[in-house]
Amino acid sequence: MSAVSLPNSWRSVLPHLDEPLPPDRSPESPANGSDTGVSVNLPLALVRQSTQNREFWDIPAEVLDAYRSFRPTPLWRARRFEEAVGARVPIYVKYEGGNISGSHKLNTALAQAYYYAKAGVRELVTGTGAGQWGTALAAACSMFGLRCRVFMVGTSLQRKPYRGTLMRTLGATVHASPSELTDVAARSGGGVNSLALAIGEAVEYAGRTEGAAFCIGSGETYSILHQSVIGLEAIEQLAELEATVDSVVGCVGAGSNFGGVALPFFAEAATTGADCPRLVAAESSTTPKLTRGVYAYDKTDATGVSPMEAMYTIGSSYPIPDSHSAGLRFHGAAKLISAMRHRDQVTAQAVGQVEALEAGQVFTRSEMVLPAPESGHALAVAARLATGGGSARGVVACVSGHGYLDLAAYQQLADGELSSEPPEEQALTTAMDRLQAVPALATAGGSHVR
């Protein structure tokens, strides 16, 4: 394993884009292109990090101190995994599971809790899918003296009850979503289990609670910025190993893990004039927004009161099939990742849960590290690239979290109880039909073909 110094700055990719991101739209006036991209209770520091074309942002000393307990994270060449899958080129892995949350989510949770605390917020409210984000925020709130409330997708909480236990141990209040606390859950009829609904419940609850603020961990531009520590470390670690890769892989729910590992490579190539590696987003075949979705304006949560964002989406109304890839079961990709996908600056591959868990099983047996099901998607794509000619020099993949609270999924795999049913085309078409396409003027320069 390799060790490097902890970055003291985050690195933004915004200065290296050919044009600004399409502006958000008000849900009340979807035809207007007014920029309503940030909430009124969002700390000004996060607003600036989302909108300014500034490349390097100093990491606050308090956040750096917290990072030092688990960063830098290890990167190594997975030689035994290479042999097990028959790789033709090296596969390197960047492991983010060695902290209290068990995932990369703590990188932005600590930053956000710090900025919200400085802004005078007393409670952070959020929605979570598999529970890594909820756990990370609970830990960050505990560190910075904030209350924390988490709405977790109900089916996921049933499968991973100890995620709830860990969040409560860290001081958080945890609700299974749909809950009985919000109007948006009542309107859902109680039968919907989706990250969009859990987020919608959090938005509603925070909006009516004094001293509380809604906090999101993945899709926002500032959260992708905070995750850049992953890619910054990886670039230095690969250089230390004198290794060259032409593919960078991360799994995608909304996009913070993928953006964190991949976009620093894009910024580095833009700065140095070197060729940029292929940046490959690995998504769940149950939620194939980047491979089968449309680039359109859509809701980010089930309330419909948040700004409409330009994203690759399968439609917020699409009933996402149940799977063990809870952290990837979000209908849309982050607007930053989506814009870069539209401009062919990133690409994507979809993976079924069986293939993902099989890749995770092989990785466990060969590298002695148990990856989360979400991370199994990245490993499956890394194996495809390394064995099928998609990479000529090498692949680096982010193993975004551990799978110790996902053992039920691996048990079902061993028992032959899992399947990977892709979404039905007509259902996808119906969910996407009413969406408003992003105007061509705002996305000139891209010729992405789905």
Angle at 402 between CA 400 and CA 405, to 5 degrees: 135
**Residue 35, pLDDT score:** 43
Instruction: Map tokens 């073909």 to a residue.
Output: 449
**Fold match between 71-102+223-434 and 106-217?**
yes
The CATH class of 71-102+223-434 is: alpha beta
Distance between CA atoms of 362 and 415, rounded to whole angstroms? Answer: 16
106-217 folds as Rossmann fold (3.40.50)
pLDDT for position 162: 93
Q: What are the domain boundaries of the chain?
A: 71-102+223-434, 106-217
**Predicted pLDDT at 340:** 98
pLDDT at residue 449 in the model = 32
Q: What is the mean pLDDT of each run of 10 residues along the chain (450 residues)?
A: 81 96 77 41 94 97 98 98 98 97 97 97 93 95 98 90 96 96 85 79 93 92 98 98 97 96 98 97 95 94 81 90 76 96 97 96 98 96 94 96 93 91 85 89 40
- Output the pLDDT for position 14: 98
What count of Cα atoms within 13 Å lies in the side-chain half-sphere of residue 230?
Answer: 33
CA-to-CA distance for 420 and 412, rounded, in angstroms? 13
